[in-house]
Structure formats: structure tokens, C-alpha cells
Structure 1
Amino acid sequence: MFSRRTVARVVAQPSLLATPSQARNMATLREIELRLKSVRNIEKITKSMKMIASTKLAKAQRAMQAGKLYGAANAEVFETTKDEPAGSRKLFLVISSDKGLCGGIHSSVSKATRRAFANVPDSPIPGVSVDSDSPIMVVGDKSKAQLSRVLPNNFQLTFNQIGRDVPSFADAAGVADLVVKSGVAFDSVVIIYNKFVSAISYEPGVMEVKGEDELKKNAAFNKYEMEDDFTKDLFEFSLANAVFAALAESHACEQSARRNAMDNASKNAGDMISSLTMQYNRGRQAAITNELVDIITVHSFTWFFGILR
């Protein structure tokens, strides 16, 4: 039984009846409220990025259809030059971009390049062996960072700030010109890029362009009477065509992947907001219940003290 002095002190200071968990609940509610506000802001950003990517995707798909015509023309020209000379030296040109937040676009071409150098059965160039010292050139900082950790000694040239918007033939011609003038010895250029399958999927694609010397040696070209610079001009133009087709298709894949990534991020943010809102409401309800219990307890002590008087 409490003494009268103890009961009077408890009634005079109701805070003594508050439990330590009540203070913890208030801190937790404040943390949940801040987290909820942060997730809502992120959801707004991801939804905006999804809308922007959806708008850019339509434009990128139109450019991709035009770029594919260049790639188809190349394929038709080199259809008769498929015989592979022994010991040909390949130059790998990996098409990526400088931007992130677009799913596995960059890791897709990086993994395909590593599989090609490892000569595994599912290599993007089946049946063709790749020398471990084959040179590599990369378009885009993202794949450059990934491949530089695995194949640092193979890097010869890197490009950035290309394809920030829809790629143009001038961008492709600039890349092809620097490849030709780099002084790197090669017999053919292997372009590894992302191939557009549908609006929700893509896969690594490969295009190979024969070098000037390989075209001169090829029997399909030797049976025609040509100028001395014909094979050189044909190689440079074909390389620019292939690079343009790869850039356009990779850009479409990037926009599609970014839209899907932002859509998934928005859905995850919505699920997070629902979970945090429920958690916040439960904590708030528990805090209100604790306050009611404290008020009722104080009232009971006051009534009890009145009886004792």
C-alpha cells in the first residue's frame, strides 16, 4: 500500500507514470515520418524519370529503325567474306554509355566481352578463338570501369560523351575515324553492343567488320577489278555504318531499360510507402493508447488519493 506522501508526489508529477517505451515510440515515429517523406520524394523522381524515358524511347526506336538499314547494308556486303583466315587479330569495340540507372545494359556487353576473351562455349563469337592480348576500345564510361578491372592491359582507346541524345552518323563517323587513326594493328573489328529484342528485353549482339588487308586477301573481292584505295574506303565507310547501327540500337535498349528500371523503382517505392504508412499508423495508435492509459492511471490515483483523504 502506498503512503499518502508517495501518492501525493505521484499525482503532482504525472510524468513519473510515463514509461520509457513511450519516449522510444515518439522517436521511432519521427524516424518513420522522415523515412516516409524521403521515399515519397524518391517516388516522384522515379516517376518523372520514367515519363522522360518513355518519351525518349519512341524517338530512339525511330532512330534505331533507320540505323538498322545501315547494319543490314553492311551484312549484305560482307555476306560473301565469311571465310576466316587463320590467326586474324581482332579489335573489340564495346558500345556502352556514360549514364546509369538503366538496369543491366552495361554489364550485359561487359559480360559478353569477358566470355569472348575466356573462349567459353556461349561466347558471343562462337567457333572463333580470341587472343588474350586482343585490343579493346570502349564507348562509354560505365563499361570502361567494369572492363578495366578485368582486362586492364587490353585497353587502347576509350570514348565518352557520345550518344547523350539520339546518336547521329557524325558520332559514328568520329568513332570510326579515331579507330582507324589509332595506330592499333587489327585484321577485323568486332562490335559488341546491346541488341533490341522488345520493349522489355535485350541481349548482347555482335557485328564484325573486315579490315582493309582482309578485304584485299578475300577471293570474293579479288575477282573484281578495283582501285587501290577501294578496300580502304570500303572498310572505313562500313565501319562507320556498323558503329552507327550499333549506337542507335544500344541507345534504344538503354532508354527501354531505364524506363523499366524506373517503373520497377516506382512500384517498389509505392510498396515501401504502404508498409511505412501502416507501420506509422500502428505506432501512432500505440502512442495514443499509452497516453490514454497514463491519463486513466493518473485519474485512478487521484480518485484513490481522494478516498484516502
Structure 2
Amino acid sequence: MSEIVYGNLLYPQDDTPDETVLGCIRGARDVGVTTFDTADIYGMFRSENLLGRALAGEPREELVLCTKVGMPTAGGPNGRGLSRKHILESVDGSLRRLRVDHIDVYTAHRYDPETPIEEVMWTFAELVRSGKVLYMGMSEWPVESITEASRLAQELHVPLVCHMPRYSMLWRVPESEVFKTCDDLGIGQITYFTLEQGVLTGKYLPGVDWPAGSRGTDLKGGRGPLMRHWLDADDALTRIQRLAPLAEDSGLSLAQLAVAWVLQHPSVAGAVIGASRPEQLHHNAEASGRPLEADLMSRIDQILGGDLIVHSA
């Protein structure tokens, strides 16, 4: 997989024009991205459809296509979760929309406490044996459930290869338990919210109106409570601006520094990056393969401080 993973996240009411989304996906290919992440719930199937359109005709062996199952995509108890019924009905829809005959990494979007984990893993094993899915992933699962899933995966011969946590230089919750557990089990990390929905790009300034058209002003889903946590705190935005000289000294932008910081962690195999314009992706993808010195990592921690960095949810 590529270190830079293009995340085609569309919110349910997102009205970004199709051609803009298609242009960003194709722009990712232009800079060498081979790994693409989506989910059936993103844009309520629209993300998968557009990803399938954009990548149609690309050599299949060059692509790693990742999608997810589990979030509500229909009414009633059978339109959500990780029951055998919902997974088997969902996978065929994802394959059809992505225009492929197999999904490289099929991810259980969240842990489902209402479905026995044995049922989940048995169903994924069936998908792997059928050839519809090559590998299994999880996103934001509790540590004890990751451990149990890994045990069952070995018994059922299911290649459980990745976990997808939120992770950034501001949000370090997975470091305390998830990374170590997954390292011991041979499970890699594909992280999301690498830029904290744009906060770590430095475009939001303390005491200044948020830029028009930015995610911070998007009332259709992009401006969530996670983002407001940072945008409502001038102290946080001030300290993020203090990172800019460090980035510049390293020949990086703030956004590139944030991406490179995440990729620096040995547990991280790839970082999910989104874009509203192809040039954003071109710029941020340059962070791949840029190691950061230990002194720089220490100075970042000193600026952000323990009171700003989130270590536990």
C-alpha cells in the first residue's frame, strides 16, 4: 500500500460537485497514491460510486481498495451493524458500486456489541474464502475486542491486517494501548484525521474569522464537534501557529509536517488524507518519505504541551 491513502470521505448531505471529487481521486493517482479508502455510508453510497467511476480502467493490480461496513445505511436493525445478514448484503453493493470483483481491505467500521464477535469473524472468513474480500480491517475497536478478533482470525485463517484509528499530533489516544496491542498481534495502523479536519494546516487563525469555504464553516457535516474542540480554543490555534517555523526550517508546510509526524510512528503503515482540490493532495503527499529528527519531534511536543495533546478519550 502507499503511505498516503486517499480518503474519499463525503458527508451524507455533501454537495461537492461530482467532477471535483473525481478530479481529486484522479489527482491522487497522478502523485502515485495506490491506496484508496471509502465506506458505504460516505455520502450514502455516493463515495463508492464516484471512486468506482474515477478508477475504472486503472490496472487492478496497482490498486488497494478499502471500504467499510457497519454504519447505518438503511432503516431498521438489519440496515446497520455487523450481523451476518448486513455484512453479506452490504458487500455485494460495495462491489457493484466500486466496479470490482473483490475488495482488498474490508473494514468493520466500528465494533458492534450487539453481534457476537464469532459471527462477525465467521462471516468475514466466508467472504475471504469466496474471493470477494482479500483482507479484513477494523476501525476504532476496543483493545480487548481486537485481541479476540485476532485469535479468531487465526483459527479461521482470516488475514486480519489493519486497524484504523483517529491519530494526529494533537490526538494520541491510540498510543497508550491500541498500537502496542496491534504491534504484538501483527496488525498495522491506517490512521485518519491526520490533519484534524484541517486544523493542523494552519489556515485557522486565533481571533480571525474562519476562511470562507473551509471545513470549519461547513454546516452540512464537516464542522463536527471534534473540529470545534480545536477551533473554539484560541490558545490551541496559537500554539499550532508556533509550529510553522519548525516546519519551515524542515522544508515543510504545517500540513506536511503533520502528515510526516504521523508517518514517523513505526506502527503506522499509512495516513488517510482527503482533499477538496487536487493541488491540496499534491502538496500534502510530499510529506511521504520525509523523516523527522528526534530533536524536532521533541520541540513539537514542547510547543503543543501536555495540556493540549489528547492522550485518552
TM-score (normalised: structure 1)? 0.26
Tell me: higher relative CO, structure 1 or 2? Use CA pairs within 8 A at least 6 residues apart: 1
Between structure 1 and structure 2, the one with the greater Rg is 1
Is the helix fraction higher in 1 or 2?
Answer: 1
TM-score (normalised: structure 2)? 0.26
